[in-house]
């Protein structure tokens, strides 16, 4: 089981592409057993009752309906604010997951980042420690940052992806996730719980 070309030997480097990716057309609008396993490489586990509800129950049907309406073919940089605004479909999918017993915001975010790797970032405790809690939402703050100064940050992320020798199938958003996570972890910050 080799890593992507140029990727460091971290299990997280497989998150976006393992089993072909969570955004393949045939699985993009539903959370699969593969997605539930893949999020484990980012150090989270979906509780078994929730996993069963996703795979065989009403929860899975609700999430599929929401995911179907969330664009999967655009980068966050190109998205409309309406694709990311609170109370809209992506945020509703996130809230539905977060509200499940023992899931919370980190697991919900990682599952959705797997399903929409170009549109939704990984926002976990390390990212929150590094970047804070922007208001009204992290998604909207990152969207604005990626578009600021004629998309300067977005272009820097694409250049970093090229320098790292990563394939173009790795989204600029995922490069951002990894850069924030690795940079913050390397500085050995103590993050509040």
State mean pLDDT over 139-161: 94
pTM of the prediction?
Answer: 0.85
Q: Is the residue at 192 inside a domain?
A: no
State residue 61's pLDDT score.
Answer: 97
Domain count along the chain: 1
* The pLDDT of residue 187 is above 70: no
User: Secondary structure of the chain in the HEC alphabet?
Assistant: CCCCCCCCCCHHHHCCCHHHCCCCCCCCCCCCHHHHHHHHHHCCCCCHHHHHHHHHCHHHHHHHHHHHCCCCCCCHHHCCHHHCCCCCHHHHHHHHHHCCCCCHHHHHHHHHHHHCCCCCCCCCHHHHHHHCCCCCCHHHHHHHHHHHHHHHHHHHHHHHHHHCCCCCCCCHHHHHHHHHHHHHHHCCCCCCC
Q: Is the residue at 182 inside a domain?
A: yes
| Range scoring the smallest mean pLDDT among 21-25, 130-134, 140-144, 145-149 | 130-134
- 188 phi-psi bin (left φ>0, alpha ψ -120 to 50, beta other): left
- The residue length of the chain stands at 193
Q: Is the residue at 148 inside a domain?
A: yes
**Cα–Cα dist 119/73, whole Å:** 8
Q: What is the pLDDT of residues 103-113, one digit of tens each?
A: 999 999 999 99
What the block records as the tokens of 42 is 């980012």
Q: Is the residue at 29 inside a domain?
A: yes
State residue 148's pLDDT score.
Answer: 96
Q: Is the residue at 6 inside a domain?
A: no
Domain that holds residue 130: 11-186
* The pLDDT of residue 163 is above 60: yes
Q: What is the pLDDT of residues 43-101, one digit of tens each?
A: 899 999 999 999 999 999 999 999 999 988 899 999 988 888 766 888 999 999 999 99
Q: Is the residue at 2 inside a domain?
A: no
State residue 49's pLDDT score.
Answer: 97
Reference 88, options 135, 124, 148, 140; nearest CA is 140
């Amino acid at each position: 089981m080799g890593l992507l070309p140029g990727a460091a030997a971290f299990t997280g480097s497989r998150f976006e592409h393992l089993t072909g990716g969570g955004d393949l057309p045939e699985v993009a609008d539903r959370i699969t057993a593969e997605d539930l396993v893949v999020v484990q490489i980012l150090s989270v586990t979906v509780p078994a009752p929730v996993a069963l509800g996703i795979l065989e129950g009403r929860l899975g049907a609700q999430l599929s309906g929401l995911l179907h309406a969330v664009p999967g073919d655009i980068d966050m940089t190109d998205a409309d604010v309406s694709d990311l605004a609170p109370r809209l479909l992506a945020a509703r999918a996130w809230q539905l997951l977060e509200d499940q017993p023992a899931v919370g915001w980190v697991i919900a975010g990682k599952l959705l980042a797997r399903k929409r790797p170009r549109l939704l970032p990984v926002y976990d405790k390390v990212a929150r420690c590094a970047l804070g809690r922007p208001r009204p939402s992290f998604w909207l703050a990152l969207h604005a940052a990626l578009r600021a100064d004629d998309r300067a940050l977005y272009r820097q992320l694409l250049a970093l992806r090229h320098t790292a020798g990563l394939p173009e199938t790795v989204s600029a958003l995922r490069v951002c996730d990894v850069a924030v996570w690795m940079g913050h972890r390397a500085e050995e910050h103590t993050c509040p719980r």
